[in-house]
Amino acid sequence: MQLYNKLSAKERAALIEEAGKDRLTLSFYQYAKIENPQEFRDQLFIVWDKLDVLGRIYIANEGINGQLSLPADRFNAFKTHLDTIDFLKDIRLNIAVEQDNMSFLKLKVKVRKKIVADGLNDETFDVTNKGVHVGAEKFNELIEDDNTVLVDMRNHYESEIGHFKNAVTPDVDTFRESLDIIEDDLKEHKEDKNLVMYCTGGIRCEKASAYFKHKGFKNVFQLEGGIIEYTRQVKEQDLENKFIGKNFVFDERRAEKISDDVIAQCHQCGAPCDVHTNCANDACHLLFIQCDKCKAEMDNCCSSTCKEIIALPYEEQKALRKGQGNSNDIFKKGRSENLPFKKDLRNISDNFKSNKA
C-alpha cells in the first residue's frame, strides 16, 4: 500500500478546483505518550488519505501536532475517527479564522523527535507543570493589568504582521532564542509580575510556560488555543478584540486577517504592507514582505541579483543553484543582506527594552 503523498501540489490543486467542494482548515495538538510513532503514523495516513485530508502532521513519542484541511462534508467522519483514539477524544480543534480551499496541497504525516522544534532538553524540567490556561475574556482582563508583562512566543517574522497590543515581541528566528532573552529581561520580576504568553495555536506556550515556571517565575499564564481560539471566542462572546493585524500561519494562506490594521511595511520601499511573498528565484525563495509596486518593479524578486538570475535561461538557473540549499534561510527574511530597508527598520522595532517590562 502506498503510504505517501502521490500527487504534486499542482495536480492536487486542479483536483480540489474540479471537486468544487468547500474545505475546512484546522489545527490541533496533543502531548501524549505514543509508544510507536511510525505505526501510529501509518494508521493515520491510511484513514486520513481516504478522507481526503491534506496537511502537515508531526508525530513523536511526545504527541501529535497537526495542521490540515479536509472537505467540510467529511468533518464528522474525521471527528469520529479522532474520537476512537484515546488521547484525541474530544480534543479542541482550532478551526481557521480565514478559510481557503488551497491551504494545503499535500498530505505529509511525519515522524519526528518532537512535535515542535523547541530546542529544549525536556529531561531538565517538569514539562507537565504548566502555566494557567486562560480564555479570551480572562486574557483581556489580565493584559490590561499594570502588573502584567505580555510576551509573544512566536518569531519576529510572525509578530511583525500582527500581535497583541502592548506585547513584547522578541526579535528572534527561533523559539529557543526567545526563552533566554525573555528570562534575562524579566529576571527582576520573577515573583512580582504576571507573565502572560501567547502563540499561534497554543502549542509553543505549553512548553514555554513550564520552562519559565522551572526558571522561578511565579505567576505564569498562557492563552488557551492561542490567537486562533482567542479570535473565535472574541466573536462568539462579543468581546473586545485586542489583537492587531494578521495571524501568521504556516500554510499556503500565509496569514489570516484578525483586524483591519496593517502594521508592517514593505521590506523594499517601506510602504505599509503585510503581504508575504517568496522570492521568485527558486535558489533564494526568501519569504519577505513586498508591496504590489515593488513586486512589479522587481519581478517578484527580493533583490536585483535574484532578478538578474530569473531572467537567465532555465538551464543556466539550474546550473547556478546546483548543490545549494535554501530551506534554512527562507524564514530569515528580516535578516537578509538583500533587504537593506528592513535592516534599518530592525533597530527601531527593537521594542524589548522600551516596553513596560
* Minimum distance, C-beta of residue 316 to Zn ion, in the bound complex (Å): 16
* Minimum distance, C-beta of residue 322 to Zn ion, in the bound complex (Å): 17
Question: Which of 119-127, 147-155, 162-170, 270-278 is the region at the interface with Zn ion (rule: CB under 5 A)?
Answer: 270-278
* Minimum distance, C-beta of residue 208 to Zn ion, in the bound complex (Å): 32
Among positions 277-296, residues that touch Zn ion (CB under 5 A) are: 279, 281, 284, 286, 291, 294
Question: Which of 10-18, 118-126, 173-181, 258-266 is the region at the interface with Zn ion (rule: CB under 5 A)?
Answer: 258-266
* Minimum distance, C-beta of residue 293 to Zn ion, in the bound complex (Å): 5
Q: Which amino acid is at 261?
A: D
- What is the SS3 string spanning 68-117? EEEEHHHHHHHHHHHHCCHHHCCCCCEECCCCCCCCCCCEEEEECCCCCC
Question: Which of 13-21, 77-85, 218-226, 265-273 is the region at the interface with Zn ion (rule: CB under 5 A)?
Answer: 265-273
Work out which of 30, 169, 178, 268 binds Zn ion, going by CB under 5 A.
Answer: 268
Nearest residue to 28 via CA among 90, 74, 72: 90
Please identify which of the residues 199, 284, 291, 294 carries the catalytic annotation.
199
To the query of whether residue 199 is one of the catalytic residues in this protein, the response is: yes
266 scored as a contact of Zn ion (CB under 5 A):
yes
Question: Which of 94-102, 109-117, 224-232, 271-279 is the region at the interface with Zn ion (rule: CB under 5 A)?
Answer: 271-279
* Minimum distance, C-beta of residue 102 to Zn ion, in the bound complex (Å): 24
Work out which of 47, 51, 269, 345 binds Zn ion, going by CB under 5 A.
Answer: 269
CB nearer to Zn ion: give 88 or 306. 306
Residues near Zn ion (CB under 5 A): 266, 268-269, 271, 279, 281, 284, 286, 291, 294, 302, 306
Q: Which residues are catalytic?
A: 199
